[in-house]
A and B are shown apart, each in its own frame.
Chain A
């Protein structure tokens, strides 16, 4: 059974600080890694994806991947209250069965 693990939180971060969200996965054959943001009562929206080891930056967001440690993270710089949401980590394994989602981390940015 492929698993994606996230700390459920809530993770509370002061406005303007860096929020760090973490995710581990069990399938060593995993190829693609995604971060979704989900506001309360809304559907998930894709904010970042990463395929290779290292860092990938997009505006205030940085995704980090370490395949040897089976670890993927999302950093949010200069956190804003509008970043308060649940962040879902999703992993595409080596097979043909699509994405496996973690249960999400609830992030709260305190003004």
Chain B
């Protein structure tokens, strides 16, 4: 089975800090995604990547950036954390264009105080 590992399950950061969320997948998938999930708003796509060093903006990229230096690793960066970025962050990967669905990591619950 594909495994998608997110480095932290829970994080508490202060407003203004630079925050790194790491995601690693072990099945050589080309595509990786970062979502945030908030009650009533569902899953919202932040950024995605179809290849190493590639990145594409999703629906809500403001305040975030990403890095994909290696195929298996996709990092989400909060340049200057704000309280409205408190959320559950989910990383996912897929083979191809998602025709086989996504596999999600276990999520990172980020609280910005």
Q: Do A and B come from one complex?
A: yes
- A residues near B (Cβ < 8 Å) are 31-32, 34, 36, 42-46, 49, 88, 90, 92, 96, 98-99, 101-104
Q: Which residue of B lies closest to A51 (CB)?
A: B99
* B94 CB contacts on chain A under 8 angstroms: 98
Q: Within the assembled complex, what's the spacing in Å between the Cα atoms of A46 and B92?
A: 12
- B residues near A (Cβ < 8 Å) are 31, 33, 40-43, 45, 48, 50, 90, 94, 97-107
Main secondary structure of the interface of B (DSSP, over half): loop
Q: Within the assembled complex, what's the spacing in Å between the Cα atoms of A99 and B33?
A: 10
List 17 additional A-B contacts (Cβ < 8 Å) besides A45-B104, A99-B101. Answer: A32-B98, A32-B101, A36-B101, A42-B106, A42-B107, A43-B104, A44-B43, A49-B101, A90-B101, A92-B99, A96-B50, A98-B33, A98-B45, A98-B48, A101-B42, A101-B43, A104-B42
* A88 CB contacts on chain B under 8 angstroms: 42-43
* A31 and B42 in contact, given A43-B107, A98-B31, A98-B33 (Cβ under 8 angstroms): no
* B50 CB contacts on chain A under 8 angstroms: 96
CB atoms of B98 and A99 under 8 A apart: yes
* A49 CB contacts on chain B under 8 angstroms: 100-101
Q: Within the assembled complex, what's the spacing in Å between the Cα atoms of A67 and B84?
A: 38
Q: Within the assembled complex, what's the spacing in Å between the Cα atoms of A45 and B45?
A: 17
CB atoms of B42 and A46 under 8 A apart: no
Instruction: Name the one of B42, B90, B97, B98 contacting A103, with C-beta atoms under 8 angstroms.
Output: B42
Instruction: Name the one of A43, A90, A102 contacting B105, with C-beta atoms under 8 angstroms.
Output: A43
Q: Within the assembled complex, what's the spacing in Å between the Cα atoms of A45 and B106?
A: 10
CB atoms of B90 and A43 under 8 A apart: yes
* A104 CB contacts on chain B under 8 angstroms: 42
Q: Which residue of A lies closest to B91 (CB)?
A: A43
Q: Which residue of B lies closest to A34 (CB)?
A: B101
Q: Within the assembled complex, what's the spacing in Å between the Cα atoms of A106 and B100?
A: 24
* A46 and B101 in contact, given A98-B31, A98-B33 (Cβ under 8 angstroms): yes
Q: State the Cβ distance, A84 to closest chain B Cβ, in Å.
A: 17
